[in-house]
Amino acid sequence: MAKFKTEFDTDRNPDQMRHVEVEIDFTSNALASILYRQGDTVILACCTKEARLPGWFPRDSTKGWVHAEYSLLPGSTDSRFRRERRGAKGRTQEIERLIARSLRAAIDLEELGPIALNVDCDILNADGGTRCASITAANLALRLAIRRLIANGQCLPRELRPTDEARKSGWQAPELSAAEQQAHENRVLPNDLAAISVGLIDGEVYLDLDYILDSNADVDMNIVKTSDGMYVELQGTGEESTFSGEELFALIAQADVGLNALFEVQAAILDGIN
């Protein structure tokens, strides 16, 4: 089990992030599992491969799919969070859709090929920013899972994929060199993905809101971005307050500082991990 830890804070300033700590392969059955801590928010992100594509896909599809699920576990909050046994409710559904569409914005589904992946984000402890931390953790799990699928011959470049006839004739996956594997990974996932929260409290911009900061924010915003500088989603809300264009740009600029730090952390975490 590989561990990575970086300290962004002790007594935090408004422009400082919470510490990030990651354990690779925290569980052994998933294709990839990530125990991700951002401050006191703790998430287990597991990526698994489905047996088949969703039923609504065409039978001869050449592209894949990525789905995500999100769950607050009962002991993750100060009062017990009841399990959603009859299906995800409104807030959970909204977060699941955010995570899934964010992941699909960063991946090339045609390069992935006809593979269906699920990323489950279970919140073990919630202290603010769970949806943003889930997206960052999910990206780590997804990249590591794809790296492993490429290494074992299940995710191949389009020109090397077998036909149905070839599969029936005992086809064996070709072995890619380390350079070929890396090149294909970069085609499937050309960029990393991260998300961070920011907020306005008494006119000052705060980065990476924990529960106390979030509860006191006049404006809070979640920003999702890819490592090539493209935004996937901005969710900004005034809590019985409004904000100006100038404040909006200040929030985005502060988020960019945190997102760039997260991209550096991600690259360091997965460097050399198979």
Helices 130-151 and 245-270, packing angle to 10 deg: 40
The two tokens of residue 33 are 């599992």
pLDDT at res. 10: 44
pLDDT at res. 168: 84
pLDDT at res. 9: 47
pLDDT tens string 198-214: 999 999 999 999 999 99
What span, in angstroms and rounded, lies between the C-alpha atoms of 30 and 126? 23
Domains identified in the chain and CATH numbers: 3-270 (3.30.230.70)
The two tokens of residue 31 are 């294709």
pLDDT at res. 12: 82
pLDDT at res. 65: 98
pLDDT tens string 130-161: 999 999 999 999 999 999 999 999 999 999 99
SS (H, E, C) 128-149: CCHHHHHHHHHHHHHHHHHHHH
pLDDT at res. 202: 93
- Which pTM does this prediction carry? 0.93
What span, in angstroms and rounded, lies between the C-alpha atoms of 117 and 132? 20
> Which residue positions in the chain have pLDDT lower than 50?
8-10
